[in-house]
Structure 1
């Protein structure tokens, strides 16, 4: 499949893979800064953003799409930054094409993803809809954050309810959610039902890897991310306190500083 892709900057190639629901725009928190030193490549995965499809597919098809994309761009080797689902695909690429992947930056992800999200009530959904619609009209409005945002499902996605984070939710997360296709949702659900677990294979990934996570992540727990780091032979692990699954939008300056330090140290 021909993926929609945003390519920015010049330098060593850095493939940036979004999560679910997401799209290339959700990775701007990384590409806006990292494209000053790297060529950042941020695709809309199949079934997300502008990479539209109505046909059913499996998670493995994402890997074929990404391999084809690298071929089209004539990229022989690259770094990969993956957030959530994107991190899982990054590990899969490293296992499938070890000669092509030079290093991994894995955020809010795990080789055996586990969550501890509480049951969702109709009130949760209603408050989230209200908070999202108001936030889309008035991004980062403190009254909406205090009145609806912190009582909605956003309370599990973020811990630091800043206007900055809510602006990202309005401008990037909300459109990405609306653009996520049913086949993409089905492909993810199928993989989760199958009990995805790549921990036994991680010892084969001999490249440097950085694993970052939020202490209060309810979608993929910090414990699951730490477990992944322990199974990767050449890993660096960091957990951010008082943050959740969307921690790059909560504390972008700190996350970017850590990414740049790791890159400068290893490459």
Structure 2
């Protein structure tokens, strides 16, 4: 499977990117479906001290792309983005698919990556999501529509949200989580192209597994997981942390794949503490 990531192509996409703050650069990579704006829970906080770059990956958000492409081409695009902004070294933060790309970029460009913050992701991703029923789709559509109108409506969260597919993405059906879903998830979902979906699922069906290659990564890593994540299980995130040489693993109880939107302050606090303990990842000693 790794060959899908180690190829190179001469054609790169000029990615739309959201830039905030000043200081040491942090490249933040979103998941599927997603966009650069989906990472505001991280970038709004981190950009107070660092400069954050949150691109829309090829085929996502405003980075429109016509035609079929493979997963490795995301890496070509990201390397071109680093060159475009003159970023010699950066910290990588990746959520879900973004975490996979962060690990791949660290393998490809070890001299440019100072550290990894890996969120709800794994080098050998495994899920245990139950089959989706028509009732799931019905409740999800109703919950999403009503949530876009009134994200804080408790009746919707209790009546539709907890019966919808949201129940596999979050465990804590709070106004905070539903506000993030309304503000960032729905638009990102609608802007995700079929070709981006094809590229991801083609790679996963081929049996993506980079565990043994992780020993090549020397930089410090923080691996964060939700205990009830059904999309990429906490066990597969722990497995990744165990293969990384210099990693710290944190698992949050009663949370799922979107745990940064469930418990943002706790997650950001843990990231801040890790950054203080590893000043080298932000260019300090």
Matched, 1:38 2:50: yes
Deviation track 1:172-211 (CA, whole Å, cap 9, x = no partner) reads: 0000000000000000010001100000100000000000
Q: Helix, strand or coil for the counterpart of 2:57?
A: coil
The CA RMSD measured in Å over matched residues stands at 0.5
Per-residue Cα deviation, 1:11-55 (whole angstroms, up to 9, x for no partner): 100000000000011100001110011100000000000001121
| Corresponding residue number in structure 1 for 2:181 | 169
**TM-score for both structures, normalised by structure 2:** 0.93
Structure 2 counterpart of 1:150 = 162
Match status 1:141 vs 2:153: yes
1:1-267 aligned at under 5 Å gives the runs 1-267=13-279
Distance in 2, Cα, partners of 1:235 & 1:204: 13
Contact 1:160 1:250 in 2 (8 A): yes
Contact 1:140/1:165 (8 A) holds in 2: no
CA separation in 2, counterparts of 1:93 and 1:140? Answer: 38
**Structure 2 CA distance, aligned partners of 1:99 and 1:139?**
43
CA contact (8 A) 1:10 1:38 kept: yes
**Which runs of 5 or more structure 1 residues have no equivalent in the other structure?**
none
List 4+ stretches of structure 1 deviating above 2 A: none
How many residue pairs are counted as aligned between the two chains? Answer: 267
Checking the alignment, whether the CA contact within 8 Å between 1:112 and 1:224 is kept in structure 2 is yes
Gaps of 5+ in 2: 1-12, 280-285
| TM-score, length of structure 1 as denominator length | 0.99
Q: Distance in 2 between matches of 1:256 and 1:162?
A: 18
Q: What displacement does 1:140 show?
A: 2.3
Secondary structure in structure 2 of the residue aligned to 1:37: coil
